[in-house]
């Protein structure tokens, strides 16, 4: 349809709202870590520091996987598994059914990380620690914890799939899934 009159053209134009600065909203965006180079975390390097979750230990027992050997097979480098006080408390709360997992967690090859916060909810503890320090790989099979960690840029996740350790969001790893 062709507009002929000047009046018709003025009617068809859309009115754009004038920006007077009042409709701007203030957003707080967390500052990205200086360790991040584009999508690659430069603080990650051998020996890898792996934060281990409760269910990761349980799944490795169920799949009959040696934690240290399987981590090294996955990453082709030395790995130092770390366990927080909250994860130890969670294992102790689970009772006698998980005493093998507790015995593995008390192994001296695991580095202990003391927790200074109140409460013993391990998932919050791991997420806070990874948010503060970008040097960790998180080892978990918990879907909810994986979802929370994926929101943190530059944090790889180690998990157990098909009776072996795999890792996601790590560009040069052997166990990384082919995408």
Buried/exposed 61-81: b ≥16 CB within 10 Å, e otherwise: eeeebebbebbbebbeeebeb
Q: Are 130 and 160 in contact (CB under 8 A)?
A: no
Q: Check residue 170 and give its pLDDT.
A: 74
Q: Check residue 7 and give its pLDDT.
A: 67
Which of 50, 30, 46 is CA-nearest to residue 156?
A: 50
- Looking at domain 49-168, its CATH architecture is 3-Layer(aba) Sandwich (3.40)
Q: What is the DSSP string of 58-121?
A: HHHHHTT--HHHHHHHHHSS-EEEEEEHHHHHHHHHT-GGGHHHHHHHTSTTSEEE---SSS--
Residues 6+ away with beta carbon under 8 Å from 138? 50, 51, 53, 126, 130, 145, 149, 155, 156, 157, 158
Query: What are the sequence ranges of the domains in the chain?
Result: 49-168
Per DSSP, 159 falls in state E
Q: Check residue 112 and give its pLDDT.
A: 95
Q: Which residue has the tokens 């391990």?
A: 122
Per DSSP, 140 falls in state -
Q: Check residue 169 and give its pLDDT.
A: 77
Spans in the chain with pLDDT lower than 70: 1-23, 29-40, 120, 171-179
């Amino acid at each position: 349809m062709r507009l002929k009159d000047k009046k018709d053209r003025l009617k068809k134009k859309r009115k754009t709202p004038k920006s007077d600065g009042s409709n701007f909203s203030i957003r707080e965006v967390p500052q990205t870590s200086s360790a991040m180079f584009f999508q690659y975390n430069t603080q990650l390097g051998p020996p890898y520091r792996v934060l281990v979750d409760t269910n990761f230990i349980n799944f490795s027992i169920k799949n009959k996987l040696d934690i240290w050997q399987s981590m090294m097979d996955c990453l082709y480098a030395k790995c130092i598994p770390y366990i927080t006080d909250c994860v130890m408390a969670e294992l102790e709360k689970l009772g006698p059914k998980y005493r093998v997992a507790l015995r593995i967690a008390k192994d001296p090859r695991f580095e202990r990380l003391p927790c200074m916060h109140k409460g013993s909810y391990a998932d919050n503890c791991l997420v806070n620690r990874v948010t503060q320090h970008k040097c960790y790989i998180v080892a978990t099979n918990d879907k909810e914890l994986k979802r929370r960690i994926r929101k943190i840029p530059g944090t790889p996740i180690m998990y157990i799939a098909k009776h072996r350790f795999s890792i996601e969001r790590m560009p040069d790893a052997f166990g990384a899934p082919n995408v």
